[in-house]
Amino acid sequence: MSADLSPIDKAKFAAAKRATDFVEDGMRVGLGTGSTAAWLVKCLGELVREEGLKITGVPTSSRTAALARDVGIPVISLDEAKWLDLTIDGADEYDGNLNLIKGGGGALLQEKIVATASDQMVVIADVGKQVDTLGAFPLPVEVIPFGWQTTKVLVEETLIGLDVLGRTASIRMNGDHPYVTDEGNYILDLHLRRIGNPRQLSLVLNQIPGVVENGLFIDICDAVVIGYGDGRVELRNINDGTIEESQIDFLEGENLFSDLSD
C-alpha cells in the first residue's frame, strides 16, 4: 500500500506519525485542518482504537470533526474544553522563526483560536513548506460578507504602505460563489510574494473594519515536525533551539494507507 503513496504523502504521514509522540493519555488536543492534519487524525485514531489511547479532540473545522468521529476520537467544543494541552496542525508556509501562514484550507479563524488556547502548538509539514521569507503562498484574510468588496479595497490600499512585494487581493471562490467558512465568512487571498515584516502586517490587517482575522501565526508555534519522502523526520523546537532527527518506517499494509491520500 505504501508504495502507492507519492513522496509528498509519505512526507506528510511521517511528520504526522512523529507528532503523535507529543500526545499523552488524558490530553485535550486541538486537531488541525488540511491534508497533513488529516494524516495526524488518522494516526491518533489508530492509537485510540488499537492501543487504548485516551484523549479528547477539539477540531478546528467541521470536516476535521467528522473525520475524528469516524476514526474513534471523542470530540468536544473549545467552550467545553476551555483550555487545551496541545494543538497539532499543518501550515502552508513556515520560516526559520516558526512564524506561519495558515488558512489554505479555509479554517484559519478557528485554527488560530484553538492554537492560542493551548499550552503548546506543534506544526506538522513536509519540507516543501519551509521558506526563508513568508509570502509566496497567498495570505488568507477572513472577512465578513457585508461590504466585502469595500473591505477588499481598504486592504489593498493599506498594503501600499507596507513591506510587501505584491498588493492585490482576490476573493476565494467555491465554484460560482464565494467560499464560505464554518463561521459564515468570506476569505480574501492576498498575493504578496514577500512579507518583510509579518508582525506589523498582522497587526495592521486586523485593524481594518470588516477583517475578522488573518492567516499569519506569529509567536504561536513552539515546534515544527518536518517530514521527508523517505521517512526521515526532523523536529525543530523554537523554545530550546534543538533539532532532532528520526526515521519513520513505512509498513506494507498499514491501515492508514488504505483510505487516506490527500
pLDDT digits 0-9 by tens, 7-17: 999 999 999 99
Residue 240 pLDDT more than 90?
no
Whether domain 139-214 has CATH 3.40.50.150: no
Cα separations in angstroms, 119 against 34, 63, 116, 149, 252: 22, 24, 8, 37, 36
Q: Can you give the residue ranges of every domain in the chain? A: 2-129+219-258, 139-214
Instruction: Decide which of 3.40.50.1360, 3.10.290.10, 3.90.1150.10, 1.10.150.20 is the CATH code for 2-129+219-258.
Output: 3.40.50.1360
Q: Could you give the residue numbers annotated as active site? A: 111
Question: Hey, what's the cell of 36?
Answer: 497533513
Instruction: Give the pLDDT confidence of 66-115 residue by residue, as tens digits.
Output: 999 999 999 999 999 999 999 999 999 999 999 999 999 999 999 999 99
**Worst-scoring range by mean pLDDT, 1-5, 49-53, 124-128, 180-184?**
1-5
Residues contributing to the annotated binding site for substrate = 33-36, 89-92, 102-105, 129
Residues contributing to the annotated binding site = 33-36, 89-92, 102-105, 129
* 2-129+219-258 and 139-214, same CATH topology: no
Cα separations in angstroms, 234 against 100, 197, 220, 231: 17, 27, 19, 10
